[in-house]
Amino acid sequence: MKKYNYEYFASSPSGLEELLAKELADLGAKTTVVVRGGVQFEGSHDVALKAILFSRIASRVFKFLYQYEVNNEQDYYLGATEIKWKSLMDLEHTFRITTIFGDLPFERDEFRNSQFANLKLKDAIVDYFRHHEGVRPSVEKDSPDVSFLARIDRGDEKPYKATIMYDLCGDPLNQRGYRVSKTEAPVKENVAAGIIKLVKWDPENEDFIDGMCGSGTFVIEAALMAAGIAPSYLRVEWHLKNPAQNKPWTFLNYQWLTKDQELLKEFKDLLKEISESTAKGLEKLAGMKGRIVGNDLSEMSLISARENLREAKLDKVIGLTQVDARVLNPNQNKTLFICNPPYGERLEHGEEEKLKALYKGLGDHWKHNFKGHRAALFTGNLQMLKSVGLKSSKKHMLYNGDIDCRVAEYNLY
């Protein structure tokens, strides 16, 4: 039985936290707190590693390192100079700091400025190394070797609580590596995966059509899920081809991994497992031809989807069609029809009516031609949702970036 002796935080799009907690539990984690935008959990190091490699919902995974109380910016600096930075990063590594506030700091307080807080922490790290090693490491904003997150929580009164964490991932995990081409308003990869889970798509018994696939995010995420291919499969492949580069995750540079022989072995085993399950998954998908289909009316969107499918190695197994979603029929099998229509954020005169007609047209089409099937509509335009004119069986709230969105599910009889 593994001990739950380390604390981690996995961030996620808001609205998907419960699904993330479930994913983490399946990987062996014990959730301690679910907050808006993420899940705090306890687990052994390999559980965190699995979260990074297997979670379809997490955006990033952080490891808690230090926590201390601060009253002002000087405390923040002094507390940080007590941390043994040498055990957290190597001198030759570049680093980045991001400071966030758990709650809004008190008014007129120096901690209202995250840039200023970043600077204080950077000074503490640089001064620590100058003092102990005689040299200082460098800051790198875009692609650092080591990335720290500092969170300052206010509580009801001072002192604040400063928490220093490792960002184990670097680039967010939703960047799977297949999105080489974008259309307008693409949905984040982990939001798409989350929606497919929210509506409980059952790949064994239901086909999957995205009527307005844009750059192909939903069909790609659906295929990966159906085939049991880890969302990290492309990153894993890249890493195995370029082992000396210590990328694409920042944890590859951390003593968290490099000094832990057991964890290193586990990591290698997991990479092997992911490569093997990817090969098997792609074989499985070859037998599912025609069951996962993307459609879009726009030629540009289809060009983009095609490029992304190719990058994802799924171009031979996912079909693409080009018709108006309002004439697209279900497959012979029971079908889940997902649709993410344009939101119409900046509507010119007359366009609102057109958009209403599009949403209404979808509702009418489903009502008449999708009996016995299911539909799910994802939109950031809550007004337009009413134009569909069907009673939804369930509605879910979630955020795509900072846009307040809904997923409406329809059981069509």
Ligand X SMILES: C[S@@+](CC[C@H](N)C(=O)[O-])C[C@H]1O[C@@H](n2cnc3c(N)ncnc32)[C@H](O)[C@@H]1O
- Interface contacts to ligand X, rule CB under 6 A: 183-187, 211-212, 214-215, 217-218, 296-298, 301, 324-326, 340-342, 358
Q: Whole-number minimum distance, CB 239 to ligand X, in Å?
A: 26
- Whichever of 133 and 353 has its CB closer to ligand X, that residue is 353
Q: Are 302 and 217 in contact (CB under 8 A)?
A: no
Q: What are phi and psi of 218, to 5 degrees?
A: -65, -45
Q: Whole-number minimum distance, CB 293 to ligand X, in Å?
A: 12
Q: Are 280 and 177 in contact (CB under 8 A)?
A: no
State the DSSP H helix or E strand holding residue 190, giving kind and residue range, or none if neither: helix 189-198
Lookup: tokens for 289: 């031809």
State the DSSP H helix or E strand holding residue 310, giving kind and residue range, or none if neither: helix 299-311
- Whichever of 217 and 278 has its CB closer to ligand X, that residue is 217
Select from 72, 78, 73, 123 the least CA-distant residue to 97.
123
Q: Whole-number minimum distance, CB 214 to ligand X, in Å?
A: 3
- Whichever of 175 and 298 has its CB closer to ligand X, that residue is 298
Select from 272, 195, 267, 180 the least CA-distant residue to 233.
272
Q: Are 52 and 8 in contact (CB under 8 A)?
A: no
State the DSSP H helix or E strand holding residue 117, giving kind and residue range, or none if neither: helix 114-133
Q: Whole-number minimum distance, CB 191 to ligand X, in Å?
A: 9
- Whichever of 7 and 296 has its CB closer to ligand X, that residue is 296
Amino acid letter for position 232: S
State the DSSP H helix or E strand holding residue 349, giving kind and residue range, or none if neither: none
Measured between alpha carbons, how far is 131 from 127 in angstroms, rounded to an integer? 6
Q: Whole-number minimum distance, CB 380 to ligand X, in Å?
A: 9
Q: Whole-number minimum distance, CB 362 to ligand X, in Å?
A: 8
Measured between alpha carbons, how far is 281 from 40 in angstroms, rounded to an integer? 31
All residues at 6 or more sequence positions from 399 whose CB lies less than 8 Å from its CB, including other chains: 13, 14, 15, 405
Select from 209, 211, 174 the least CA-distant residue to 59.
174
Measured between alpha carbons, how far is 367 from 196 in angstroms, rounded to an integer? 22
Q: Whole-number minimum distance, CB 323 to ligand X, in Å?
A: 7
Q: Whole-number minimum distance, CB 50 to ligand X, in Å?
A: 27
Measured between alpha carbons, how far is 211 from 403 in angstroms, rounded to an integer? 21
Q: Whole-number minimum distance, CB 92 to ligand X, in Å?
A: 39
State the DSSP H helix or E strand holding residue 82, giving kind and residue range, or none if neither: none
Torsion 169-173-177-183 (CA) sign? negative
